[in-house]
Structure 1
Amino acid sequence: MNRISTTAAIIGGGLIGCASALFLRRMGIETLIIERGNCGACASGVNFGGVRRQGRARAQLPLAMRAHEIWSELPAWIGTDGEYMRSGHLKLARSLSDLQALADYRDRVSDFDLGLQILEGAAFRRRYPEFGPGVIGGSLCPEDGQANPRLVAPAFARAAQSLGARLLAHTRIMEAAPRAGGFALRTEQGTCIHADFVVNAAGAWGHDIARLFDEDLPQTPGYPTMAVTEPLPCLLGVSLGVEGGGFYARQVERGNVVMGGGFGESVDHDLRARPGRAPMQRIAEQAGEILPALRHAHLIRFWSGVEGYTPDKQPYLGPSTKHSGLIHAFGFSGAGFQISPAAGEAVAQLLAHGSAPLLDAAFSPGRHTTAATNAKS
């Protein structure tokens, strides 16, 4: 029987897991990544690619600001810029109540240096004449942007490996239990792994891994539907969102417009996902309403992925309340791409030092259990 011993075992080779591995190796901590498929092949590699701070819950902004610093130095960290650009993120308003919600958000987060600008009326139309008449304004975060997840996610894995992290790809964890001085894991292939620490970074399947440790961390799968057009002339200079959600878009340097909205459906018991028919139609309709120049564009591909959504849309990011040495880092609820580098750094700090200064109590893995207990008392 094959046996492996390591200081840190990370279950999940997506962005969170590989960023955690990268920071752990930079601290000199022995690290093993265990991935059921290929690193970055799930949500980390097929997401929309928005790199935004605007719109995040206040509790996430300290991490988002730290991640913003890391993104600006991405080649030094992972050897590529991942097509990252600070194009700006524009959140559109289609009603006066939308505009008020955007202004209220700006005021609530004014102590963070987001530089939010509320644009409306003639000033908005002069600056952004490309939008349809139903768009009346928006909130611009000038230094937010976009990147190519298909490049970024695998690059984090390669960077961690280049510093000495070991990888077990196409390896599924079947059993996990605390043992004296650490944890015992068993893979589908029968390999036994002893780890002093375990990081649960299994993304949409993080709740399944938590159950192996007898922890119930609620999470629901979601399957975002996305599409891409043929290459087009430059028509969109910012990464785009809409107040209230439902549509997002960005144009890459090659001219293709990537867009999304709505949810698809599960395939193979949540191992894969496919786009939904209704969301595909709605994406096309909204694209034409918001950006009339897209009305006759050819959509060349639709796709979906599997994301994990927690009840309050906050991630589980912190130490287990049951097992010392177990750290949960999943449930980013469709908003993990931008924040991943800082989340990985926080995981490494927790493991190495027992604390991470940027983590908020809102991320505590035990928060739902605590709330249920308080409700009964």
Structure 2
Amino acid sequence: MDAIVLGGGLMGAASAFFLARRGIRVTLIERNRVGSAATVASFGNIRRSGRYIPQLPLAHRSLALWGQAEAMLGRDVEFRATGHLRLVFSQEGLAAMRSFVKEARPWGLELEELTAGEVRSRFSGLGPDAIAASFSPNDGSGNPRLIAPAFAHAARKLGADIVENVGIGAIRKSAYGFQVETSKGSHEASMLLNTTGAWGTRVASLFAETVPIVAKGPQMGVTEPLPYRILPVVGVWAHDHGGGYLRQVERGNIVFGGGAERTDVSLDTGYAKADPTRLPGQLRSLLPILPALKNVAVIRTWSGCEGYVEDGLPVMGRSSTTPGLFHAFGFSGHGFQLGPGVGDVMAEIMATGKTDIPLQDFRIERFAKPN
């Protein structure tokens, strides 16, 4: 068996690694550098709270792989299980949190509910006006700049061919399976995995499959260093205060996102740029979470091209039209935590034809027009 993985973000690089680990000859093709699009734009959040409930088995599997990443890949990808704190500032947020906690419990996720007093005593300086919070101690964060290259490097050591910085030409069904033309030559394999992110529908449309997806750029930033005291990743429930989130890295800098509208991105270039006019409002939305940001300098902002599917859920699984074609794209800004699990599950499906992870809600045929 052999496979081409098209797209070298976290999903593609992880898939290439797990395919190679299963003994499948794999070629990973990326038009830029591995990990240079949506992955590098990520905040680095590894969370299970607030997810689409049937996605939790995939999230659990992925979290276990994050915990094994350093030993598995031979590199520290800065996974830190510092916990995930999600603050509540409104009655709407409280209802959303309690509803999720109840629904998630049968799916194997136990969240601790904290009172306002417990938030202030355990996490000094965070959310002084929060009325409650949830805490997931085993979640945390990872480094978006390290994880995809680490998977690609480990895949190469297992025999995978990693092709970067190439123009992509024709992608077609061939007598053997699939053929991908690039500026550095042609590649053929019996299976093709489409992990091209916001460009996923362009590839799918070549095989008569259409997905309503738009390209957007998140507004991300990082501050100057502060004294290191914030261990968990911090977010909010019910989009309180614009849905901002932040974490502090070990060097002291605060990495932040949310609280600002995403920018439009042209797929012709894939170039996403942070909008400086949105930064003041974004910072104001973060102050209820961390008042210490009031007089801190922002030293860098950035963005990246992410694919947002119309219903907010990814496309993952077999093609509905073409045997040997598989999809894993459109993770709508919440794919970072899922990345290792997606790669493992896609490799499992491609190698064995099955998986026990529920994927029915992510099938591409949900967008097929009725006859």
Q: Which residue of 2 aligns with 1:336?
A: 335
Q: Which amino acid is 1:122 matched to?
A: G
TM-score (norm 2): 0.94
The 3-state SS of whatever aligns with 2:288 is helix
Is contact 1:308-1:334 (8 Å) kept?
A: yes
Task: Give the CA deviation at 1:254.
Answer: 0.5
Q: Which residue of 2 aligns with 1:324?
A: 323
1:240 is aligned to 2:234: yes
**Which whole-Å deviations, capped at 9, do the CAs of 1:226-268 have from their partners, x for residues lacking one?**
1100111024221011113321100000000000112134367
1:252 is aligned to 2:244: no
Work out the CA distance in 2 between the residues paired with 1:178 and 1:308. 25
**Which whole-Å deviations, capped at 9, do the CAs of 1:137-193 have from their partners, x for residues lacking one?**
211111110011111121111111111100111123221222223112222x27222
Work out the CA distance in 2 between the residues paired with 1:267 and 1:218. 15
Pairs within 5 Å for 1:75-94: 75-94=70-89
Is contact 1:267-1:274 (8 Å) kept?
A: no
**Structure 1 unaligned spans of 5+:** 1-5
Pairs within 5 Å for 1:33-72: 33-72=28-67
Is contact 2:348-2:355 (8 Å) kept?
A: yes
Is the alpha carbon distance of 1:69 and 1:294 closer, same or farther for their aligned partners in structure 2, counting shifts above 3 Å?
same
Task: Give the CA deviation at 1:278.
Answer: 4.3
Is contact 2:41-2:220 (8 Å) kept?
A: no
Work out the CA distance in 2 between the residues paired with 1:194 and 1:301. 41
Work out the CA distance in 2 between the residues paired with 1:340 and 1:256. 25
Query: Quick one: percent identity of the two aligned structures?
Result: 39
1:200 is aligned to 2:199: no
The 3-state SS of whatever aligns with 1:108 is helix
Q: Which residue of 2 aligns with 1:3?
A: none
Q: Which amino acid is 1:345 matched to?
A: D
Work out the CA distance in 2 between the residues paired with 1:312 and 1:182. 31
Pairs within 5 Å for 1:89-100: 89-100=84-95
Report how many aligned residue pairs link the two structures.
366
Q: Which amino acid is 2:245 matched to?
A: Y
Is contact 2:210-2:367 (8 Å) kept?
A: no
Is contact 1:115-1:142 (8 Å) kept?
A: no
Work out the CA distance in 2 between the residues paired with 1:132 and 1:108. 25
Is the alpha carbon distance of 1:191 and 1:213 closer, same or farther for their aligned partners in structure 2, counting shifts above 3 Å?
farther
**Structure 2 unaligned spans of 5+:** none
Is contact 1:265-1:276 (8 Å) kept?
A: no
Is contact 1:88-1:141 (8 Å) kept?
A: yes
Q: Once superposed, which parts of structure 1, at least 4 consecutive aligned residues long, lie more than 4 Å away? A: none
The 3-state SS of whatever aligns with 2:246 is strand
Q: Which amino acid is 1:290 matched to?
A: I
Q: Which residue of 1 aligns with 2:361?
A: 362
Q: Which residue of 1 aligns with 2:8?
A: 13
Q: Which residue of 2 aligns with 1:350?
A: 349
**Which whole-Å deviations, capped at 9, do the CAs of 1:309-360 have from their partners, x for residues lacking one?**
1111111110000000000010111111111111111111111111122132
Q: Which amino acid is 2:252 matched to?
A: G
Work out the CA distance in 2 between the residues paired with 1:121 and 1:180. 64
TM-score (norm 1): 0.93
**Which whole-Å deviations, capped at 9, do the CAs of 1:59-104 have from their partners, x for residues lacking one?**
2110110111111111122112311111111111111221121011
1:228 is aligned to 2:222: yes
Work out the CA distance in 1 between the residues paired with 2:98 and 2:126. 20
Give RMSD over aligned pairs. Answer: 1.7
Is contact 2:126-2:290 (8 Å) kept?
A: yes
Work out the CA distance in 2 between the residues paired with 1:244 and 1:303. 25
Work out the CA distance in 1 between the residues paired with 2:187 and 2:112. 51
Is contact 1:130-1:235 (8 Å) kept?
A: no
Work out the CA distance in 1 between the residues paired with 2:10 and 2:310. 22
Is contact 2:198-2:267 (8 Å) kept?
A: no
Q: Which amino acid is 2:123 matched to?
A: Y
Aligned pair partner of 1:176 in 171, 174, 181: 171
Q: Which residue of 1 aligns with 2:293?
A: 294
Is contact 2:176-2:188 (8 Å) kept?
A: no
